[in-house]
Amino acid sequence: MDLGPCRLRPFRPGDEAALQRHADDWDIARWLRDSFPHPYTADDAAGWVAYACGPGQPWVYAIDVGGEVVGCAGLTPGSDVFCRSAEIGYWVGRAYWGRGLAPLAVRALVAWAWRNTAFERVHAGVFAGNARSAKVLLRSGFIQESVRRRGVYKAGRVLDEEIYVCLRP
């Protein structure tokens, strides 16, 4: 998907070095689940690219600028009774912050979901204090729905999780 300043495209072998360079940053990892490693090693990058290129994982995309992966955005479908919901996740390498890449990727993924899936809602969980991400979502047509009070334990701290949602139009 061509989004102007960047593209959303599947991961591919060869993305590992750039992925590691951008992902190895505590100011990114601190706002994500612990499954996003820190430090982010070459092995972590290789594992992610293998996973993202593997079967059954169609909804994870590289944010690409000039042929280089500079971030990631993806949808995780809910299961069981939550099968009409998806969670959106994203990050952008610090060198590319402030260029509006995340809102472009979020808007494109959500529009894609309405066209190609049966999801009724896409939501995101933002750790309290992550004002940059809250702005991305508000700018992309999400509203804050609720707060899961003390729902997150990250780096030794208990944090609220703010739930933002975009409903199928």
| Residues in contact with ligand COA by the rule CB under 6 A | 28, 31-32, 90-92, 97-103, 124, 126, 130, 132-133, 135-136
- Collapse the DSSP code of 140 into the 3-class scheme (helix H, G, I; strand E, B; otherwise coil) and give the result: coil
Q: Which is nearer to ligand COA, 46 or 99 (CB)?
A: 99
Nearest approach, Cβ of residue 94 and ligand COA (Å): 7
Do 124 and 155 form a contact (C-beta atoms < 8 A)?
Answer: no
The least distance separating ligand COA from the CB of residue 88, rounded to whole angstroms, comes to 8
**Nearest-approach distance from CB 162 to ligand COA, in angstroms:** 9
Q: Which is nearer to ligand COA, 55 or 98 (CB)?
A: 98
Closest approach of ligand COA to the CB of residue 132, in Å: 4
What is the token pair recorded at 97?
């912050």
CA distance 59 to 157: 31
Quick one: 49 or 136, whose CB is closer to ligand COA? 136
Which one, 2 or 55, has the nearer CB to ligand COA?
2
User: Cis peptide before 39, with omega less than 30 degrees from 0?
Assistant: yes
Burial of 68 (0-12, 13-18, 19+ CB in 10 A): middle
Helices 16-23 + 42-53 axis angle, to 10: 120
Q: Given the complex with ligand COA, which of 38 and 112 has the nearer CB atom? A: 38
CA-to-CA distance for 16 and 10, rounded, in angstroms? 13
Q: How far is the CB of 40 from ligand COA (least distance, A)?
A: 12
